[in-house]
Amino acid sequence: MSGLTTLAGIVVLTGARNINTTKGNRDLYLNANIYVDDNYKDNPSTGLVHFFNHADIPFNIEPLYVMAAMHVKTPPSLPPQVLPEKFTLCDYAFIGEVNHLALLPAFPETDPCQRSYITASGIVSTADTNNRQFTIKCDQYLSLIKRVVPCTLSCTIPSTPRWEKTHIPQPNTPLTVSGTFDRINRNNDQVTTSFSITIDSLAFSPRGSIIQTTTTGPSSGSTKTGFSYAEMKKKRKHTDKE
């Protein structure tokens, strides 16, 4: 069964480089630095991500971004051209394809020390009822390396009143989970083996018919909150003209 693992959070993107010049100067590889526990001393909590820069975002100023990316643990090998000088395979804890990117104000307006959030769909491979833990395996295709790569998540259900009656998912159960990204786990060779998350929500695969939905435009805003997206658009257009 194929799966999906998406990481969303505040990242610092550095080292923008164009490798495939046949696609123009918008096809970029970047180093994605995230805030998460990682005992790798040389280059902790860094991933390699691919991004098509259709909006010509200026990465040379190295600001902060909100990123959503499909991501997996780094495979046993990568094309040598995607590794920067002096980087080894272990220097990347994960690889991914950026689906969405939004610019944030730099520090101190934005604090980069905020943990990311992971949403994943896959199959439960092991379960430890006593410790309220289970693992999920997701096989995901990444165009960055043009093949399917496995991703393993080590999930912990909190020991709180909200979760006290929750049954631990058992092996071979299809499941969708989301939670806070806590730790990058590595073996003795410093190779990433899995990612640890604390569960915030979980859902078993639904059964029955699919509900048809219609697509509408972006929200105009709410009069109750006093915020209007439409007004922000007008202000932005006025600023651009100046």
Q: Record the pTM.
A: 0.81
223 pLDDT tier (thresholds 50, 70, 90): low
User: What is d(CA 95, CA 142) in angstroms, rounded to the nearest whole number?
Assistant: 9
| Separation between Cα atoms, residue 48 and residue 82, nearest integer Å | 9
6-58 pLDDT, tens digit each: 999 999 888 888 877 776 678 899 999 999 999 988 888 999 999 988 888 87
Q: How far apart are CA 137 and CA 154, in angstroms?
A: 9
Could you give the domains of the chain?
4-204 (2.40.50.140)
Scanning the chain, the segments in alpha helix (DSSP H) are 229-241
CA–CA separation, 220 vs 233, rounded Å? 10
The model's pLDDT over 55-84, given as tens digits with 9 standing for 90+, comes to 888 787 667 788 888 888 888 888 888 888
How does the average pLDDT of the chain come out, rounded? 84
Q: Six-digit token pair at 198? A: 């604390």
SS3 sequence of 54-88? CCCCCHHHCCEEEEEEEEEECCCCCCHHHCCCCCC
Residues contacting 215, CB < 8 A, separation 6+:
none
